[in-house]
Structure 1
Amino acid sequence: MPEGRLTLKDRERIAQGLTEGLGFAEISRRLGRPTSTISREVNRNGGAGAYRPDQAHEATRERARRQRPIAIDPQQPPAARTQEAEDKLTDVLVASGLTRMSSRVLACLSTTHSGGLAAADLVQRLQVSPASISKAVAELEAMNLIGRERDQRRRRDRYIVDKEIWYRSLLASARFNTNIAEVARQNAEALGRSTPAGARMDAMSEFFEQVGRETIAVAERYRHILTR
């Protein structure tokens, strides 16, 4: 498999493959690239239905420019340093699979000294519509990546990121893996464990059950560190 960054020509071939209805595996085979490279490239640039090679190429160049190691200038205004930190975290979160709007909201909350902002504050800081914030918040809450608390004085909710957020997120991930394991186990029994499909489901069940147990163990160790 070739190494190095994707070229504009590579991205044009990816777009052509998506137009033809090809899956990531087939596109990666044609380009001689890992499937994970193709899936990350498409998902971080709008998904299969909105992928544009020229825009993706320019976005990658911009990310590379922002991610170059930069010495912190003590004369740089604090707001500029905060924005730079927020932009870098946003790009990393997008690469992990979050939508860009949800990544921006989570990065904004994480780099805010108070660790919490109301929806109206997020609208103002990110210069987006209230509907965009509402959708992003719903996604992040569903994944247990942000919390909510009531500001009684101002009579509105604040969305927060605290130390417990990552613990709760790990537990949510563990439950997700456990649910997959249970469904796969039921499918293995229904299909027959001696059949190829049943054996595949059985292996899937064992894998996700083990991942779920280990995720819970990691979460508990993390929480123990936080409470010491």
Structure 2
Amino acid sequence: MHIEADPRDADERTELLRFVERFALVLAESGFPRMPARVFAYVLADDAERYTAAELAEGVGVSAAAISGAVRYLTRVGLLAKEREPGERSDVYRVFDEDVWGTIFRQRIPALEMYEKAAADGATILPRGSAGARRMRETEEFYRFLRVEQVKIMDRWVEHRRTLFDDEA
């Protein structure tokens, strides 16, 4: 729902922006930076498939500078994709519209593996039997457990999502 001059849409836009602020507040209270939370909430709730930075700034009602930092953060953490159309000069940003959360959470699996390996290195180099080595070994196993279970959960999510949304496509 890009911004339009049609006054009939003013109430819908107001409701969209109220929701965006409420959802962004939930994200921010869980540790998300405030401006990226607002931009991400907007992209999730709005109907457009792709946005330029200028469209995001206009949609959220903030400066281009605020959007620049927000989209940099969101692309870095894998919540938005950055693309450029052939022949265009501006980047466009999009949410992973096909299975938003499945895509986001699957992207986290390599990070879990990286944490697991780093902890394993620590468990190997720290003195055997030391408290630090024990904690690193526990950390390694914790991340291994999360990684293995997350793959299983994401496979289950694919099936669950299919039962919920296949008729809406």
The residue type equivalent to 2:98 in the other structure is K
Contact 1:118–1:159 (Cα < 8 Å) also in 2: yes
CA distance in 2, matches of 1:122, 1:178: 34
Once the two structures are superposed, the pairs formed by residues 165-184 of structure 1 within 5 Å of their partners are 165-184=100-119
Please say if 1:189 is aligned against 2:124: yes
Q: Structure 1 pair 225/156, CA: closer, same or farther in 2 (3 Å)? A: farther
TM-score between the two structures when normalised by the length of structure 2: 0.79
Q: Following TM superposition, by how much is the alpha carbon of 1:99 offset from its aligned partner in structure 2, in angstroms? A: 0.3
Q: What residue is the counterpart of 2:77 in the other structure?
A: 143
CA distance in 1, matches of 2:65, 2:142: 39
How many residue pairs match? The answer is 153
Q: What residue is the counterpart of 1:79 in the other structure?
A: 13
Once the two structures are superposed, the pairs formed by residues 1-80 of structure 1 within 5 Å of their partners are 77-80=11-14
Please say if 1:118 is aligned against 2:69: no
Query: Does the residue aligned with 2:91 lie in a helix, a strand or coil?
Result: strand
CA RMSD of aligned residues (A): 2.2
Q: What residue is the counterpart of 2:137 in the other structure?
A: 202
CA distance in 2, matches of 1:166, 1:176: 16
Mind listing any 5+ residue stretches in structure 2 that lack a counterpart? 1-9
Q: Structure 1 pair 79/104, CA: closer, same or farther in 2 (3 Å)? A: same
- Identity score, percent: 25
Larger RCO (CA under 8 A, 6+ residues apart): 2
Between Structure 1 and Structure 2, whose CA radius of gyration is higher? 1
The residue type equivalent to 2:123 in the other structure is A
1:67-110 per-position Cα deviation (integer Å, ceiling 9, x unaligned): xxxxxxxxx92112211211111111112211001001101111
Q: Structure 1 pair 81/153, CA: closer, same or farther in 2 (3 Å)? A: farther
The residue type equivalent to 1:97 in the other structure is G
Q: Structure 1 pair 77/186, CA: closer, same or farther in 2 (3 Å)? A: same
Query: Does the residue aligned with 2:108 lie in a helix, a strand or coil?
Result: helix
Alignment match of 1:133 (pick from 60, 67, 85)? 67
Q: What residue is the counterpart of 1:102 in the other structure?
A: 36
Q: Structure 1 pair 114/225, CA: closer, same or farther in 2 (3 Å)? A: farther
The residue type equivalent to 1:181 in the other structure is E
Mind listing any 5+ residue stretches in structure 1 that lack a counterpart? 1-75
1:126-145 per-position Cα deviation (integer Å, ceiling 9, x unaligned): 23232221211111111111
Query: Does the residue aligned with 1:117 lie in a helix, a strand or coil?
Result: coil
Please say if 1:213 is aligned against 2:126: no
Q: Following TM superposition, by how much is the alpha carbon of 1:154 offset from its aligned partner in structure 2, in angstroms? A: 6.1
Please say if 1:223 is aligned against 2:141: no
TM-score between the two structures when normalised by the length of structure 1: 0.60
